[in-house]
Amino acid sequence: MKTLVLLLLALFFFQCKTEHQEDPVFQEALENGYLAHEGFERCLSYVTAWEAFADLGSGLFPRNLTDSKDFWNAKDAAADNYPFMVLTSAILDEERFEGPMKTILETEQKLTNRLDRLPDDWSFSKKDFVFDELRLDEIIFGSSEYVKDGLLPLTEYLGSSPWSDRMIGMVDDIWKNAVYETPFGLIPSYNVEVNGELLQVLSRIYWMTGEKKYLEWAFRLGDYYLLGENHPTRDYKVIRLRDHGCEIVSGLCELYITTTFADQEKKEAYKRQIYEMLDRILEIGTNEDGLFYNEVNPITGEIVDAGIADTWGYTYNAYYGVYMVDGYEPYREAVVKALSNLDNYANFDWERGSQDGYADAIESALNLYNREQIPGAKSWIDSQMQVMWSMQDSAHRSGTEAYRGTGILEGWHGDGNFARTTIMYSLYKTLGTTIFPWQNDVFFGAVNNGKELKIALLAETGWTGKIQFDYARHKQIFNLPLDYPRINQFPEWFTVDESGSYLLHFVHEGKTRQFTGKELKEGIEVTLEENIGFYIVVEPM
């Protein structure tokens, strides 16, 4: 019976071949492919340009290309720039990924580890550490930045790898060197940014490894802020709602989400304090459009810094995650309000003209649009990506004229954030599908109507390779019980179930074949003829 059904479907698609090739949805998919391709090429251009400035002796990248070009550091060069060179290479250039990118990881561990597996700033000219003395707080801070901003998102996409090993080793040694006393046990820092980052990391690594120590360390921090005298909105005179401060809100909420599935008693202990924090921030920390101010005084309600946080979605991730586990509708409504008002922030000066502000603001929208598909947010994302991309083509900031047309954005570690968000956007336009090997004249994009996925491919000179489909990475890599929105994650748009079955209708051939999800994840072989469109409909069975 199944064979007969497949034959009938194949006959139907053969009869409708011309109609499908003229289907406007396939044209939309190809247009998405052109946008994804531009993003991928821009990321490769960025990597190639930065490679020219790697230290000749070590191969490490400098913190920036001006006053900090003589040293590598963990909190900037390693956390923000290098990881997204790795990810660009993983998707687009296997030789670069397996060669220079892995060598850099090996080198930085060999040269820069100073306290167990924790790195310190490395001078290229001295061929030694920048500072003679060991500065524990700075080492802990740099390590937490490297883990959360760089290695965690890499692991979210790549899975188990030398980078995930590096991440876990650093987290273990951060806690090995925790020296700050609290009523709840030793913690590595009193810095809210560090602790917010560690809360996010620990919540995910707990699920990834299943090791209770990570949850226990997270509880130590959660208790310190929620059960002690350091509540973010009750006890602090200033709460920063943009980066370098907002991490504590997301971190505490990630832990709260984790308790929903791991420890209901602890969840009940935290619940009132979590809602108190989130309600107070909404009450005094947002403008008329629902976006967050940079800084407020949660005790008096005073707005300390009325600038609008480019990382607005980083904080709303926390609200939406709490909504997902508790069903508390006002937190979802707050997210929808912000997404619905983005048209008021076209060409907005997010961070004094820096592309880094655009990267964070667009990521904010992409991650939440993945959950709440507000039409106005979609058009805003598309238009503002063009603004950010244009910054790579022109010297838009004073002092960057030398980089015009090279692929470098602004010549500092924030350039990596351009690649991070651009990859997110390109994967959104392909709905997570990738090709292997990538070729610079192959265009591929996708559209999902809720029932089936339509993919369009076009190669200018022909191509043979594999189309690979995305999968539930949050479950298979991190074992997360819920795909809640997370800072610097790469959203899942269309995922295949490895144990499921799918019909693929090859419209150009008038043929239908059945594949398992595992086969689609690993990739199916296709051949593209020169300048002839290749159209596929993917239908879950």
Q: How far apart are CA 139 and CA 506, in angstroms?
A: 54
Does the pLDDT of residue 406 top 50, yes or no? yes
Enumerate residues 6+ apart whose C-beta is below 8 A from 257: 203, 321, 322, 324, 325, 482, 484
- Judged by DSSP in three states, 434 sits in strand
pLDDT for res 22: 67
What is the rounded CA–CA span in Å between residue 113 and residue 321? Answer: 35
- pLDDT of 50: 97
Rounded CA separation 192/202 (Å): 15
What is the average pLDDT across 437-453? 95
Give the residue extent of every domain in the chain: 2-22+439-540, 50-349+358-374
DSSP sequence for 472-483: -HHHHTT--SS-
Place of tokens 């047309």: 405
Fold of 2-22+439-540: Immunoglobulin-like (2.60.40)
- Mean pLDDT, the chain, as a whole number? 95
Least confident of 45-49, 80-84, 396-400, 455-459: 396-400
pLDDT of residue 19 exceeding 60: no
State percent of the chain over pLDDT 90: 92
Residue in 195, 193, 158, 284 with CA at minimum distance from that of residue 233: 284
Identify the pLDDT of residue 23.
86
- CA separation (Å) from 179 to 185, 187, 190, 496? 9, 6, 10, 45
Cis check for the bond before 437: say yes or no (omega within 30 of 0): yes
Residue 398 binned pLDDT confidence (cut-offs 50, 70, 90) = low
For the stretch 101-155, pLDDT in tens is: 999 999 999 999 999 999 999 999 999 999 999 999 999 999 999 999 999 999 9
pLDDT above 90 for 17 = no
In this structure, the strands spanning 71-72 and 128-129 are unpaired
Q: What is the mean pLDDT of residues 449-464?
A: 95
How many angstroms separate the Cα of 483 from the Cα of each of 371, 386, 438, 479? Answer: 10, 29, 28, 10
**CB-based contact 309:267 (threshold 8 Å):** no
Query: pLDDT tens digits, residue range 461-473?
Result: 999 999 999 999 9
Measure the CA–CA gap between 482 and 261, rounded to whole angstroms. Answer: 9
Q: What is the pLDDT of residues 500-530, one digit of tens each?
A: 999 999 998 899 999 999 999 999 999 999 9
Question: What are residue 536's DSSP bridge partners?
Answer: 455, 506
Q: What is the mean pLDDT of residues 176-187?
A: 98
Residue 449 has pLDDT above 90, yes or no: no
With CA atoms as reference, report the closest residue to 207 among 479, 483, 489, 487: 479
Average pLDDT, integer, range 424-448? 98
Closest CA relative to residue 77, chosen from 414, 422, 356, 410: 414
Q: What is the mean pLDDT of residues 261-282?
A: 98
pLDDT at 12: 39
- Quick check: 323 and 334 in contact, CB under 8 A? no
pTM confidence score:
0.95
HSE (side-chain half, CA atoms, 13 Å) at 354: 17
Q: Which fold has domain 50-349+358-374?
A: Glycosyltransferase (1.50.10)
Q: What is the mean pLDDT of residues 488-493?
A: 96
CA distance 308 to 351: 9
**What does the pLDDT average to over 382-406?**
88
The dihedral through the CA atoms of 460, 461, 467, 468 has a sign that is negative
- pLDDT of 483 over the 60 cut: yes
What are the DSSP calls for 77-106, one per residue?
A: IIIIIHHHHHHHHHHH-HHHIIIIIHHHHH
Q: Is the pLDDT of residue 18 over 90?
A: no
What is residue 47's predicted lDDT score, i.e. its pLDDT?
98
